[in-house]
Structures are given as C-alpha cells and as structure tokens.
C-alpha cells in the first residue's frame, strides 16, 4: 500500500471513531449536568436557550405545587379560613403539622405549601377548591391544556409519586413561566422564610424556610420550586434575573438533593452567557390613536404597558423579531386610565412569543361633536 493510501486509511479511521464516540457533556461550552432532563428558557418570551431530554415524561415531584399554587391564587379568596381535614392532615411529608380540625387562613396555607413544600397543605387547598383531590386534578389538567402542557397529566395536587402523574422539563418550564407572571406568586417564592400563623388555635405558629437553597446564594435568584421523591429524584424549577435578562431553568431526575442546585447554577450561568437583551420599544416614546364614541373627546391615545426588549440568543440578529399593533379603530367611552385596549404582539420568526397590553388614557363619557361624528361614521361603515 502506498504511503498516501495509508495516511488516508488512518484519517478515515479517526473520523469513524469520532462519529461513533459520544461527545462528553460539557465539551464545546455545553453545561455539564447530572440531571436526566433539563431546559433553559428566556422568561419574557419563553424561547428555549438549551435543552436536554426536555420531552422525557418523568415524575415532577413537588414542582407540581406550582400548579396548585397558581390555581389557588386565581380562584380562591386568600383571606378565607380552611379547616384541616383528616385526610389532608395525615398526608405524608407535611412539616407544617396542621392537625385535623385546626383552622388556618388560605394565604398562610399557600405560603407554607410553596416554601416548606407541605403536601397536606396542597391537599387542603385542593379540597377547598374542588371538594376532593380527584376533582381538583381535573382542574389542574384543564389548566395544563390551556398552557400548552402537552405531555403532562396530574392525579394529585402535591406531586407524591402516583401512576399517571407525570410531566416534562419543557412543560414544567411553561408552568413556571406562567406562574412567575403572577405578582403574588412571585413574591411568595422569593421569600427565604416566613412565619405561618393559625386562626385556631390562635397561638400556633410555624417558622417556614424556603427549600430553594439558591435563594440568597445565587446572584439574581427569584424563586421558584423544588421537588424530591425517591422515584422522581432531584427536581427544581429556578428563576434568576440579571442585567434585564430573566431566565427560568427546570431540571428533573438529578441523582441527589444537592445535585439539583449545582445543576441549576450551571444552567443559569450558561443561559446568562448566551442571552443579551436589546431595546426594541420604549413605552414613553410610543403611542397609538383610537377614535372615541360617546365621549367628551373624539380620540384617545394608547400606550404600551411596558418597554419591550428582545432577547438575542447566541448573538442572533434582532431582525427575526417583529411587532404588530393589535388595537381597535374605535372605542366607547368611558375609559379609565390604564384600561387595556388591544395589545402589541411580539413575534419571533412569525411565531407569537409575547403580548404587551396597550393601555388607554382617561376618557370621560359625554358629548362632543367630534365623538358624535365618529359614532355616525362608525355606524355607516358597519352598514357598508
């Protein structure tokens, strides 16, 4: 065999070996994590920055309580009392220690559930909302469908291991992103600790500590929820915000309790290294005019509820983003200042990624010639 043929054969062999051997995790700047599944998303748009087995169906453990918590915030009177049932009180892993017949306010129970990951608290909230756990699971699954969680099915409100109770890192990230858009939820999960107080007996309290060990230790940490069972392994949904960039990471089936926090820190570091924000629209510089009927003026200005920034991943160009103003041509008075009237739709490569409300200035009801003419023209155009 000629020399050049030998060299070529060696080169081909090396190439084949390179194809056959998997690239070790961590090479090429990829995050080196122990969790079986994980995902990093940008919080304002939900765009995926990095993922690993993000569609594997796994046990979500107590990350389930994000769903129970957001439903409680949306559906319950937080100042109402809950009397602890025997079933709720005797649920395993309930560190608050609420006994059967004791009364505790809904917001206190909710805080204890999200901070201490109390399983009995989740059952009590479920019973208060739906009568029983099974009925509440139906509400959870309806909300999951609404959020586009296509690979999720809940059978209980706390995440204790059960057949048919599963989710994915991608779906849990959708849930975490949605929950963190709720101001009250966001405030609860950001607390390192809180004193939980009973209504009866009046003197009973519990000093709850957030199970998220990254709070106060990872720069910019905003929350959100831990999870652990023997079957699920270490689970964690965690959020952080730095320099205008907000990220959410979800990881599932880490080998140990501590591994989930180490993995989350690596994932957040990776995300912050690969995402930059660029300003697209300043709310002070943008307005849209709409015509007004039945008002003391013929037109009103609409303003964006907030600045709009585009997350750019891995140095991409912002030309992939577009803004569309989805606002009516005519509105009826009265309008209170700050009333949402239409939206700005943010799209990335043609896909909706964010909706920002357009807010009205104050418009009083009454009569003006201009407003009357608007009403006439609007009526005529509808007939055409």
Q: Is 318 annotated as a binding residue?
A: no
Cβ pair 289, 328 in contact under 8 A: no
User: Could you confirm whether 382 is annotated as catalytic?
Assistant: no
Tell me the CA end-to-end span of the chain in Å, nearest whole number. 87
Q: Does the annotation mark 287 as catalytic?
A: no
368 is catalytic: no
List the beta strands (DSSP E) in 187-328: 193-197, 205-209, 221-229, 233-242, 245-254, 275-281, 288-293, 299-304, 308-313, 321-326
237: CB partners within 8 A, 6+ apart = 63, 66, 172, 173, 175, 176, 224, 225, 248, 249, 250
Q: Which residues contact 201 (CB under 8 A, 6 or more apart)?
A: 102
Of 112, 260, 232, the residue nearest 165 (C-alpha): 232
The Cα–Cα gap between 140 and 162 comes to: 15
Identified catalytic residue from 34, 62, 85, 94: 62
From 34, 85, 94, 117, the catalytic residue: 117
Distance CA 279, CA 249 (A): 24
Query: Which residue in the list 52, 65, 174, 253 is annotated as catalytic?
Result: 65
User: Could you list the active site residues?
Assistant: 62, 65, 117
Binding site per annotation, positions for substrate: 225
Binding site per annotation, positions: 225
């Amino acid at each position: 065999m000629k020399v050049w043929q030998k060299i070529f054969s060696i080169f081909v062999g090396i190439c084949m070996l390179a194809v056959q051997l998997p690239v070790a995790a961590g090479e090429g700047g990829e995050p080196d994590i122990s969790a079986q599944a994980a995902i990093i998303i940008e919080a304002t748009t939900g765009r995926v920055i990095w993922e690993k087995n993000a569609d594997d169906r796994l046990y979500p453990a107590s990350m389930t309580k994000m769903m129970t918590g957001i439903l409680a915030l949306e559906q319950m009177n937080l100042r109402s009392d809950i009397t602890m049932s025997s079933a709720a009180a005797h649920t395993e892993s309930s560190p608050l220690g609420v006994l059967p017949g004791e009364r505790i306010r809904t917001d206190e129970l909710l805080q204890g559930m999200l901070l201490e990951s109390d399983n009995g608290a989740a059952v009590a909230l479920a019973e208060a909302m739906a009568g029983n756990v099974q009925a509440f699971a139906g509400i959870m699954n309806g909300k999951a469908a609404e959020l586009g969680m296509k690979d999720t099915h809940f059978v209980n409100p706390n995440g204790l291991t059960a057949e048919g109770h599963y989710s994915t890192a991608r779906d849990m990230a959708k849930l975490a992103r949605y929950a963190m858009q709720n101001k009250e939820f966001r405030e609860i999960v950001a607390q390192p600790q809180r004193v939980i107080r009973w209504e009866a007996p009046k003197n009973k309290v519990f000093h709850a500590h957030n199970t998220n060990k990254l709070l106060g230790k990872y720069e910019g940490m905003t929350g959100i929820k831990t999870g652990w069972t023997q079957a699920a392994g270490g689970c964690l949904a965690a959020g952080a915000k730095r320099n205008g960039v907000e990220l959410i990471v979800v990881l599932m089936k880490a080998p140990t309790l501590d591994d989930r926090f180490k993995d989350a820190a690596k994932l957040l570091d990776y995300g912050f290294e690969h995402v930059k924000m660029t300003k697209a629209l300043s709310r002070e510089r943008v307005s849209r005019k709409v015509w007004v009927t039945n008002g003391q003026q013929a037109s009103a200005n609409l303003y964006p509820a907030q600045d709009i920034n585009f997350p750019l991943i891995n140095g991409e160009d912002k030309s992939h983003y577009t803004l569309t103003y989805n606002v009516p041509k005519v509105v009826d008075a009265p309008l209170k200042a700050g009333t949402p009237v239409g939206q700005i739709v943010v799209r990335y490569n043609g896909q909706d990624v964010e909706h920002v409300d357009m807010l009205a200035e104050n418009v009083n009801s009454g009569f003006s010639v201009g407003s009357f003419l608007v009403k006439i023209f609007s009526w005529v155009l509808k007939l055409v």
